[in-house]
């Protein structure tokens, strides 16, 4: 009997739930642990683990456990070598050598969260929480909020409707009108400054566009708070806005080499 499309989707979702179990705090799982955590039958758990292992997404670990597999590393390398954002932005950022910059980071928008895709420390004494590969909610931190501020109105309204309580707790508005005004002020300013994620640093983020009205990432310059004056904050803001604009201009004008396929950009869509 052929499985329906709905059944196939359900099975795929369950297999992916196994991958979701693997975190920094819990990097290794046995089949017995997976059975207990997902309330799955033994046959089902073994089938899921086998499918993920055959795909290279899981690999055998010590003590009958499994860990994330080599295919994930291969996919990460592929992203670093094929993502137009990284191909354009990283060489440009290598030329940014102002002593004001303690660290540089690029964050990309995926669904309802923002993922850090590039981090470079310039100040050896700086402490960062936004390392490459870490994800943050769309409302949390300057890299996320500046992306949120440039979303199309309908996406912004959908986001507010689904997250009104979180928006209020974040101090971004008690009503839709308040929230929309907060976002309008951020757009007018052109950058977002904050230290919610790490009180020891100041992060200033500016939007990156791959089309004239399509934001898909942000660039952040970060500096230790204890050594940053108000004048330096303003100077750092000007630097990050200018750099993000240069990256955006090149992304918008990007043309692949002859004979190579065109650029594939992530298309930001909220999941709410």
Q: Are 180 and 118 within one domain? A: yes
Average pLDDT over residues 246-272: 71
Q: Are 107 and 155 within one domain? A: yes
Q: Are 102 and 59 within one domain? A: no
Q: Is the pLDDT of residue 8 over 60?
A: no
Q: Are 158 and 198 within one domain? A: yes
Q: Are 229 and 99 within one domain? A: yes
pLDDT tier, 1 (very low <50, low <70, confident <90, very high otherwise): very low
Q: Are 270 and 239 in contact (CB under 8 A)?
A: no
β pairing state of 65-68 and 103-110: unpaired
What is the SS3 assignment for 183?
A: helix
Alpha-carbon distance 96 to 1, whole Å? 60
Question: What residue has token string 């990156």?
Answer: 208
Q: Domain range for residue 218?
A: 83-252
Domain count for the chain: 2
Task: Report the chain's mean pLDDT, rounded to a whole number.
Answer: 89
Half-sphere exposure of 229 (CA within 13 A, CB side): 3
Q: How confident is the model at residue 60, as a pLDDT?
A: 95
Structure tokens at 99: 């002593």
CATH of the domain at 104: 3.30.450.40
Residue of higher predicted confidence among 179 and 111: 179
Alpha-carbon distance 219 to 194, whole Å? 13
Q: Are 182 and 110 within one domain? A: yes
Least confident among 26-30, 68-72, 253-257: 253-257
Q: Are 135 and 222 within one domain? A: yes
Residue 272 belongs to some domain of the structure: no
CATH of the domain at 26: 1.10.10.10
Q: Are 44 and 107 within one domain? A: no
Q: Is the pLDDT of residue 6 over 60?
A: no
Query: What is the H or E stretch that residue 110 is in?
Result: strand 103-110
Residue 257 belongs to some domain of the structure: no
Residue 167 belongs to some domain of the structure: yes
């Amino acid at each position: 009997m052929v499985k329906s499309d709905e059944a196939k989707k359900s099975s795929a979702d369950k297999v992916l739930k196994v991958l979701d179990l693997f975190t920094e705090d819990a990097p290794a799982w046995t089949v017995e642990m997976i059975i207990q955590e997902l309330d799955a039958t033994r046959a089902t758990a073994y089938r899921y683990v086998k499918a993920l292992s055959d795909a290279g997404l899981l690999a055998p670990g010590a003590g009958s456990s499994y860990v994330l597999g080599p295919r994930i590393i291969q996919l990460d390398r592929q992203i670093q070598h094929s993502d137009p954002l990284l191909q354009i932005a990283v060489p440009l950022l290598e030329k940014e050598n102002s002593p004001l910059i303690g660290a540089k980071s690029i964050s990309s928008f995926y669904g309802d969260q923002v993922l850090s895709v590039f981090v470079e420390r310039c100040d050896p004494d700086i402490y960062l929480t936004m390392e490459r590969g870490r994800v943050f909610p769309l409302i949390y931190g300057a890299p996320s909020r500046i992306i949120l501020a440039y979303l199309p109105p309908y996406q912004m309204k959908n986001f507010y409707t689904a997250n009104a309580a979180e928006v209020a707790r974040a101090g971004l508005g008690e009503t839709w009108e308040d929230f929309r005004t907060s976002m309008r002020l951020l757009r007018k300013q052109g950058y977002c400054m904050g230290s919610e994620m790490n009180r020891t640093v100041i992060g200033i983020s500016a939007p990156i566009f791959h089309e004239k009205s399509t934001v898909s990432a942000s660039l952040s310059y970060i500096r230790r708070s204890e050594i940053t004056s108000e004048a330096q904050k303003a100077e750092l803001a000007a630097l990050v806005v200018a750099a993000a604009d240069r990256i955006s201009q090149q992304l918008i004008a990007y043309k692949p080499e002859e004979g190579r396929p065109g650029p594939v950009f992530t298309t930001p869509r909220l999941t709410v």
